[in-house]
């Protein structure tokens, strides 16, 4: 089996990276940065997102696992103290794989019809540097509402515990193939009206955002990476056909992860 390791880059993460690389190679596993079967991220959830995007070209054949060197992460759930145990588990391959849904985002340009397609593990957010965003929101080809406000967040089930949660969105179990649309400070008064609740869309239900008025430049984030897009004609979001694979070496049910991350510790 071939493995790759992505480190956050700090001293502690680099040290763990070096140890894992050495021991796994001693176990006759092959270090392969280009097409690994297993990617180990060492750092935090941000490092895991980085690793996911670095290996996005081989999602069908690569699984991910995360070691955290800071606080407990949602994706990075192995502690530095458990690294030896993890190395032995990895060496005993094959491992169990759990697949979770991703979000597909397609940004279309108004002039030449240029199209940029992205996959997100957590979410996309659409904001503007000045004033409000104004979008027609279409769901499954029909006009649903005109949104005015700070922005919109469209998240995956595994991203539902990230930015989406801070916006009052619901937590969705990642076995459900769905995406969630949450509002950021929508303007609601006698003139403007939005649903005001998070919307959960199943697979095949596309959400299309079409900017209204002259404002066509948006700050669009795909997970941890934000960029300015000019002349935007539409932003299309739906459940992607690709999936992300997590390597499972022990059971860690999603709801236990949610409890451990957000609800008080049992010891307190």
149 is a site residue for ligand NAD (CB under 6 A):
no
**Where does residue 183 rank: exposed (0-12), middle (13-18), buried (19+ CB within 10 A)?**
buried
Among 27, 46, 95, 206, binds ligand NAD (CB under 6 A): 46
User: What is the Cα–Cα distance from 148 to 262, expressed in whole angstroms?
Assistant: 31
According to CB under 6 A, which residues from 67 to 126 bind ligand NAD?
73-74, 122-123
Q: Hey, how many other C-beta atoms are within 10 angstroms of the C-beta on 39?
A: 23
Length of the chain in residues, anyone? 268
Min dist. Cβ of residue 73 to ligand NAD (A): 5
- As annotated, the binding site includes 45-46, 122-123, 148, 150, 185
Encoded tokens for 45: 């959830």
Rounded distance, CA 43 to CA 6, Å?
8
Q: How far apart are CA 226 and CA 210, in angstroms?
A: 19
Using the rule CB under 6 A, is 161 a contact of ligand NAD? yes
Pick from 223, 244, 245, 246 the residue near ligand NAD by CB under 6 A. Answer: 223
Contacts of 158 (CB under 8 A, 6+ apart): 74, 75, 100, 101, 121, 122, 174, 244
Residue 151 is a binding residue for ligand NAD (CB under 6 A): no
Q: Pick between residue 3 and residue 163 the one whose CB is nearest to ligand NAD.
A: 163
- Is 77 one of the annotated active-site residues of the chain? no
Given the complex with ligand NAD, which of 2 and 224 has the nearer CB atom?
A: 224
Buried b (16+ CB within 10 A) or exposed e, 94-127: ebeeeebbbbbbebbbeeeeeeeebbbbbbbbbb
Q: Which stretch binds ligand NAD (CB under 6 A): 31-39, 130-138, 160-168, 193-201?
A: 160-168
> From the annotation, which residues make up the binding site for NAD(+)?
45-46, 122-123, 148, 150, 185
**Which CB sits closer to ligand NAD, 8 or 24?**
8
Distance CA 210, CA 216 (A): 10
Q: Does 257 bind ligand NAD (CB under 6 A)?
A: no
Site for ligand NAD in 165-204 (CB under 6 A): 166
Instruction: Pick the binder of ligand NAD from 4, 44, 169, 211 (CB under 6 A).
Output: 44
Among 37, 45, 77, 223, the one annotated catalytic: 45
Any idea which residues carry the catalytic annotation?
45
Contacts to ligand NAD by CB under 6 A: 44-46, 49, 73-74, 122-123, 158-159, 161-163, 166, 223-224
């Amino acid at each position: 089996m071939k493995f790759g390791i992505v480190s956050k880059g700090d001293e502690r993460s680099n040290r763990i990276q070096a140890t894992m690389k050495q021991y796994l190679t001693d176990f006759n596993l092959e270090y392969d940065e280009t097409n690994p079967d297993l990617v180990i991220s060492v750092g935090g959830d941000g490092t895991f997102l980085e690793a996911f995007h670095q290996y996005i070209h081989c999602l069908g054949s690569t699984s991910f696992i995360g070691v955290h060197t800071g606080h407990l992460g949602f994706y990075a759930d192995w502690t530095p103290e458990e690294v030896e145990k993890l190395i032995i588990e990895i060496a005993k391959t094959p491992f169990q794989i759990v697949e979770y849904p991703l979000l597909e985002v397609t940004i279309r340009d108004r002039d030449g019809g240029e199209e940029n397609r992205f996959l997100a593990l957590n979410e996309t957010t659409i904001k503007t540097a000045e004033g409000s965003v104004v979008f027609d929101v279409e769901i499954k080809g029909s006009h649903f509402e005109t949104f005015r406000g700070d922005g919109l967040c469209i998240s995956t089930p595994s991203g539902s515990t990230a930015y989406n949660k801070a916006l009052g969105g619901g937590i969705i179990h990642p076995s459900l193939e769905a995406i969630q649309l949450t509002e950021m400070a929508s303007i609601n008064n006698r003139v403007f009206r939005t649903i005001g609740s998070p919307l959960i869309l199943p697979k095949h239900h596309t959400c299309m955002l079409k900017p209204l008025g002259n404002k066509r430049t948006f700050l669009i984030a795909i997970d941890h990476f934000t960029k300015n897009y000019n002349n935007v004609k539409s932003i299309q979001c739906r459940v992607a056909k690709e999936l992300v694979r997590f390597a499972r070496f022990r059971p860690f049910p999603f709801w236990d992860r949610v409890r451990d991350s957000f609800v008080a510790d049992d010891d307190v």
